[in-house]
Amino acid sequence: MNQANLRPNDRYNEEDSNTTANPHIDAVISARLSRRNLLAGGVGAAGGALLGGLGLSGCATPAATSAVVAQSAPLSTLGFTAISKSLADTVTVAPGYQIQVLYALGDPLTGSTPAYKNDGTDTDFDKRAGDHHDGMEWFGLDANGKPSASSTSRALLAINHEATTDEKLSSFFLHANGGTSKLPRPASEVDKELAIHGISVVEIEAKGNRWSYNAASPFNRRVTTMTDVLVHGPAKGSEHLVTKFSPDGTRARGTVNNCGTGKTPWNTFVSGEENWAGYFFRDAKDDERRGKKDKQVAALVRYGRKAGDASRHGWESAGAGDAYVRWNNGALAADAKSDYRNEMNTFGYVVEMDAYNSRLAVRKRTGLGRFAHESVSFAKPVPGQPIVAYMGDDSRGEYMYKFVSSARWDAADAHSADPLGVGDKYLDRGTLYVASFKSDGTGQWLELSMVNPIVAANPDFEFKSDADVAIFTRLAADAVNATKMDRPEWGGVNPRTGDFYMTLTNNSNRTVDGEMGVDAANPRTYTDIKGGQQSSGNVQTNEYAKAAVPGKEQKGNVNGHIIRVAQTNPADTAFKWDIYLFASEADADKTRVNLSNLTDDNDLSAPDGLVFSPSTGICWIQTDDGAMTDKTNCMLLAAVPGQVGDGSTKTLAYKRADGSEKRVDTPMGKAPTADHLKRFLVGPVNCEITGLCESPDGRAMFINIQHPGELTPMADVGNPAKYTSHWPANAGYGAGQRPRSATIVITKTDGGVIGS
């Protein structure tokens, strides 16, 4: 959910706790150049006006040095016709393509689970598809049900179920009357909500060009907030993970707010726990109770939980049982072994799962750090070299990370009979880094471990071990002055060039100066008017757009951008970077907002999902937008990008209230042409488009439509005519009219490769 459409509960989707005073890039550089400049940069008012870009400076960035990776059949241009923006309550796709709804919230995952009635009376959600389908990966099956890298017609989809459509505590489409919107929440409602979060595995099969899922498949699996999981990596056994459930700190219970995904080179599923903090309650006296010496107090705040913070769903209020009490940070007993004071520390990791084996517990890979994880992108593995994984922390002003394994890649591990054992080998021991972007188009990955004296001797927060670094990662990254980014979301590695791309979805807190002042890597702050006179005549049909008239002022980096990083060797600490794409409305000012020359065929806002197709090399870009939803629903675009260094430097100049000027030089990639960036699909009303995987031949593509109709008022749950979306019921899928998150499959009507 994008912050531009905030309901009261949506603050749980975007906590904002990075108040550290890390100097941003320009301040650091200014400090080196001139103390006077630094002072000027620090005192300017946040409301300075943008003078406008000063055009290309002519100092082209150096050519990329990334290794070119051979790729079988990459597409050099996009073969389809771009589609228009749309506010229709349907999935619109490029001409020559068709879509089919495959697997929606509540669909049964066992042969004996009743069909989903979709009227709020359904139960047994641990045997049904969860809610808010998000990241998704393909795991092929052959005719004998064995793992297959080549099968194109039978597979398992592993899918994150991030959250649920909620208002005033309740997941209201899940309950017949909308549920209970005050505390205490009834256990009967909470039990359903605990089960609709997590992950599912579902078997799918094609007969001709018709796909279906198999409700009775023995491979089907649910992992929920209640499933036993194992703690792995440096934090295993830490005193900070000791709970009543696991007195030795080696086990934990469940996974929550699973957002982006990844697929390891050894064919397992990885999933990022993102906005987990919001599920936890802290009462107003919790700081006092814990006492000033408890370093957990600083950590709880840095991870978004101040004393007095309410929880998103009030699960902690549903009774005295462990299933509920564990969500209350402040219910302290005699010691950590008798209560859940540390429960929040058991969330915030990347979890790894063998999609083919439901008997094996999910493993929390603590070596990859603890933050608001989105996706995990693996560099192409090279025998004899470390495994490298890129990750982002999605909150305003948070950081980009990289993990480098201690073990060197052995190609035989790609086909192991014990893939989670292979995961232990590569993900449990290694080094975590955080990114620092310099304004000259170079950057540095800074080590987060006790080897780095800045971490080990940090005066602000005591790190005693690498377990502490794994658990309190954000505080370690603060210590080394990492660059505060505009909400890092998904990443992807371009199979053609090896360049790593990351979406920076937007940042309403980006200002000209101050702690989140514009810098080279996050260079835009501007004002956009949504709806009202600024809308370009689109008929505003949904409830939210009507409410937005006569126009709403949006500030900061309203539309987001996509940054990319090139390295000679992925394990190196030095990198080069540029900005591949500035998202924008087509009619925005081309000198300061629409810097990538976007048109009506490819303008977008809030890039979030980003997946490179292994078969075609297309960079698929998905949006989770609230800023441009007066003009269009969220969308999927296809891109064929170049490489880091293929553009030139852009200078932006901001005028402060006192008349002084701040100039930002940013290395920018070559602007995309009409053949290299096109809108492919637009979703129904109030949805996010997310998750993407494909069959190995590139002829079937799977994406998720998350939370259609999410801006329906809870009070209207009994009145289908008032729902802002009726999808997928209006596409002929399933019973009832309540909108449902769902997986769809896209095929070309002539059976061809998607995007060709």
Q: Which amino acid is at 235?
A: A
CB of 531 to ligand FEO, least distance (A): 24
Closest to ligand FEO by CB, 368 vs 571, is 368
Q: Give yes or no for residue 630 binding ligand FEO (CB under 6 A).
A: no
Q: With CB cut-offs between 5 and 8 Å by kind, which of Ca ion, ligand FEO, none does residue 343 bind?
A: none
Q: Please give the residues from 139 up to 198 whose contact with ligand FEO meets the rule CB under 6 A.
A: 162
**Between the CA atoms of 409, 414, 420 and 423, what dihedral angle is there, to the nearest 10 degrees?**
20
Q: Which amino acid is at 257?
A: N
Two structure tokens written together for 255:
């996974």
DSSP 159-181: EEE-----BTTB-GGGSTT----
191 vs 177: CA distance, rounded Å? 16
Q: Give yes or no for residue 131 binding Ca ion (CB under 5 A).
A: no
Closest to ligand FEO by CB, 374 vs 630, is 374
Contacts with ligand FEO, 574-613, as mask; x by CB under 6 A: ----------------------------------x-----
Closest to Ca ion by CB, 251 vs 530, is 530
Closest to Ca ion by CB, 223 vs 634, is 634
Q: With CB cut-offs between 5 and 8 Å by kind, which of ligand FEO, Ca ion, none does residue 274 bind?
A: ligand FEO
Q: Which stretch in 23-31, 139-147, 311-319, 487-495 sits in contact with Ca ion by CB under 5 A?
A: 487-495
Q: Give yes or no for residue 10 binding Ca ion (CB under 5 A).
A: no
- What residues pair up with 99 in beta bridges, in sequence order? 746
Contacts with ligand FEO, 358-387, as mask; x by CB under 6 A: ----------------x-------------
Distance from chain centroid for Cα 601: 25
Q: With CB cut-offs between 5 and 8 Å by kind, which of Ca ion, ligand FEO, none does residue 694 bind?
A: none
Contacts with ligand FEO, 488-517, as mask; x by CB under 6 A: -x----------------------------
Q: With CB cut-offs between 5 and 8 Å by kind, which of Ca ion, ligand FEO, none does residue 286 bind?
A: none
CB of 80 to Ca ion, least distance (A): 25
Closest to ligand FEO by CB, 224 vs 649, is 224
Number of Cβ within 10 Å of residue 149's Cβ equals: 11
Q: Which helix (H) or strand (E) holds 291?
A: none
User: Look-up: residue for tokens 């219970």?
Assistant: 253
CB 438 within 8 A of CB 520: yes
CB of 179 to ligand FEO, least distance (A): 23
Upper half-sphere CA count for residue 110 (Cβ side, 13 Å) = 9
Which residue's Cβ has the minimum distance to ligand FEO?
Answer: 259
Candidates 14, 89, 398, 608; binder of Ca ion (CB under 5 A) is 608
Q: Residue 36, class by beta-carbon neighbours within 10 Å (0-12 exposed, 13-18 middle, 19+ buried)?
A: exposed
Q: With CB cut-offs between 5 and 8 Å by kind, which of Ca ion, ligand FEO, none does residue 393 bind?
A: none
693 vs 262: CA distance, rounded Å? 10
Closest to ligand FEO by CB, 343 vs 608, is 608
CB of 230 to ligand FEO, least distance (A): 24
Q: Please give the residues from 642 up to 681 whose contact with ligand FEO meets the rule CB under 6 A.
A: none
CB 613 within 8 A of CB 71: no
CB of 272 to ligand FEO, least distance (A): 8
Q: Give yes or no for residue 274 binding ligand FEO (CB under 6 A).
A: yes
Q: Give yes or no for residue 710 binding ligand FEO (CB under 6 A).
A: no
Q: Which helix (H) or strand (E) holds 253?
A: strand 251-253
CB of 274 to ligand FEO, least distance (A): 5
Closest to ligand FEO by CB, 83 vs 689, is 689
CB of 11 to ligand FEO, least distance (A): 14
CB of 274 to Ca ion, least distance (A): 7
Two structure tokens written together for 581:
């794409």
Candidates 167, 489, 519, 710; binder of Ca ion (CB under 5 A) is 489
Kindly state the number of chain residues that form the binding site for ligand FEO, as judged by CB under 6 A: 7
Closest to ligand FEO by CB, 479 vs 606, is 606
CB 284 within 8 A of CB 329: no
Closest to ligand FEO by CB, 401 vs 723, is 401
- Say which DSSP state 519 is in: B
Q: Which helix (H) or strand (E) holds 453?
A: helix 453-456
Contacts of residue 726, Cβ cutoff 8 Å, sequence gap at least 6:
89, 709, 720, 737, 739
Rg (CA), the chain: 24
Distance from chain centroid for Cα 466: 25
Two structure tokens written together for 134:
């998000």
Q: With CB cut-offs between 5 and 8 Å by kind, which of Ca ion, ligand FEO, none does residue 189 bind?
A: none
- Say which DSSP state 411 is in: G
Secondary structure class of 468 (helix, strand, coil): helix
Candidates 137, 189, 394, 447; binder of ligand FEO (CB under 6 A) is 394
Q: Give yes or no for residue 259 binding ligand FEO (CB under 6 A).
A: yes
Contacts with Ca ion, 506-545, as mask; x by CB under 5 A: ----------------------x-x---------------
Closest to Ca ion by CB, 385 vs 534, is 534
Q: Give yes or no for residue 486 binding ligand FEO (CB under 6 A).
A: no
CB 561 within 8 A of CB 582: yes
Reference 709, options 735, 741, 736, 681; nearest CA is 741
Kindly state the number of chain residues that form the binding site for Ca ion, as judged by CB under 5 A: 4
Q: Give yes or no for residue 428 binding ligand FEO (CB under 6 A).
A: no
CB of 13 to ligand FEO, least distance (A): 7
Q: Give yes or no for residue 688 binding Ca ion (CB under 5 A).
A: no
Reference 364, options 470, 439, 457; nearest CA is 470
CB of 375 to Ca ion, least distance (A): 8
Closest to ligand FEO by CB, 374 vs 513, is 374
CB 754 within 8 A of CB 699: yes
CB 593 within 8 A of CB 581: no
CB of 706 to ligand FEO, least distance (A): 9
Reference 689, options 730, 637, 728, 634; nearest CA is 634
CB of 648 to ligand FEO, least distance (A): 31
CB 13 within 8 A of CB 393: no
Secondary structure class of 676 (helix, strand, coil): coil
Q: With CB cut-offs between 5 and 8 Å by kind, which of Ca ion, ligand FEO, none does residue 528 bind?
A: Ca ion
CB of 719 to Ca ion, least distance (A): 30
Contacts of residue 118, Cβ cutoff 8 Å, sequence gap at least 6:
106, 729, 734, 735, 736, 737, 738, 740
423 vs 389: CA distance, rounded Å? 12
Contacts of residue 615, Cβ cutoff 8 Å, sequence gap at least 6:
72, 73, 694, 696, 697, 698, 753
- Residues lying near ligand FEO in the complex (CB under 6 A): 162, 259, 274, 374, 394, 489, 608
Which residues sit at the interface with Ca ion, rule CB under 5 A? 489, 528, 530, 608
